[in-house]
Amino acid sequence: MNRMYNKLWLILVLLLVCGGHSSLRAQEIGGTQIPVDAEATYYSSLSLPPLDVLFENAKTAPAYELAEVQVLVEKSLLAKEKRHFLSWFSIRASWQWGNFQNDATFSDVYQPIVYSYTENEQTGYTIGAGLSIPLSDFFDYGPRIKRQKLTLKMTELQREIQYQALKQEILDLYLSAQSQLTIVKIRAEAVVLANIQYRHTERNFANGLTGSDALALEKEKQSLTIERYEGSKSLLTKSIMMLEILTNTPIINK
């Protein structure tokens, strides 16, 4: 009777332990609860996009677009400097229209009063041009264009420097993610095998083919395997999310 009671008590403890570790059997990918086996299978088949695709997509990042806008501003200023000579010229024109009327009265001692009325419509226009060249502007015209070209070149170089720094950061994260992905794939396969082994031992225990010590040992192995897998997955997810932010490229299914 005591042996049966001890066995039932041990089964109850093991069920509580299994229940305490049940949270390890389901994880989230993009906010969706899925079993660890399915999640491990997902990460086993996960692959990173080609590096050149990430580099190209990084050009849509806000930091690069800001540098690109600055280049466009400097190009616009250069075009303005090249057109500066037009300010030396001036053109003027005018157009006039008028309707003239004349009402007159004439008389003398020999003639009666004579009335006269005339009306005349006139139009006119003038066109003129002028040239005024300040000597300071004249002699500084070429150097001003050259200075603006240098400013444009400096802005383009700053954009490229920023892009190279961004590519370096992407490369570091990419290599880190590749290494972590390899580890996650290995540990994901280990999780699948550990779950299979534990379920097999659990069935044997339920059928009385194995003891509680073997079941507890398999549970410990399973928990340790999942713990290692979760640690590696966390590092991988962090690197991938950083890549997604820097490159505007979705990698993990949401």
Q: Which of 53-67, 100-114, 186-200, 239-253 has the lowest mean pLDDT?
A: 100-114
Name the DSSP letter for residue 171: H
pLDDT reported for residue 24: 37
Q: Kindly state the tokens that stand for 115.
A: 């009335």
pLDDT reported for residue 101: 67
Closest CA to 192 of 23, 19, 35, 48: 35
- 108-126 average pLDDT score: 70
- 133-147 average pLDDT score: 90
Report which listed range, 108-112, 120-124, 212-216, is most confident.
212-216
CA 12, 15, 16, 21: dihedral to nearest 10 degrees?
160
Closest CA to 77 of 157, 165, 3, 151: 151
pLDDT at residue 13 tops 90: no
pLDDT at residue 25 tops 50: no
